[in-house]
Amino acid sequence: MRKPDAVFCDLDGSLLGPDKRVGEKDAATIRRLKELGVPVVVCTGRPILGVRQVVKELGLDLALCSNGGCCFDFSRGELLFATEMDHNIARRLLTWLEEEGAFFLLHAPDRIFASFGVTMPAHYLLEGEENGGLLTCETPLEGVRILKILAIRCEESAILRKGKELFGPEELTICSSERGFVDFNPPGVNKGAGIRQLADRMGWRLEEILALGDNNNDLPMLEAVGMGAAPSSGVPEARAAADCTIVHIGSNPNSEMKDIADFMVRIPVRTKFYLEDEIDSCQIMTSLFEQAVLLVGDVLAKMIVERRQLDMKSLWQYHANLE
| pLDDT digits 0-9 by tens, 281-313 | 888 876 888 888 889 889 988 998 999 898 888
Question: Pick from 134, 129, 130: which is nearest to 98 by CA?
Answer: 134
Question: Which residues are within 8 A (CB) of 230 and not within 5 positions of it... i.e. 6 or more apart?
Answer: 14, 212, 213, 214, 218, 222, 238, 239, 241, 242
Higher local confidence (pLDDT), 104 or 271: 104
Domains present along the chain, CATH in parentheses: 6-81+190-241 (3.40.50.1000), 87-185 (3.30.1240.10), 247-318 (no CATH)
Report pLDDT digits (tens) over 161-188.
999 999 999 999 999 998 899 999 999 9
Grade residue 322 by pLDDT with cuts at 50, 70 and 90: low
Grade residue 261 by pLDDT with cuts at 50, 70 and 90: confident
Query: What is the rounded average pLDDT of the residues 206-227?
Result: 94
**Structure confidence at residue 323 (pLDDT):** 58
Query: What is the rounded average pLDDT of the residues 179-206?
Result: 96
Grade residue 160 by pLDDT with cuts at 50, 70 and 90: very high
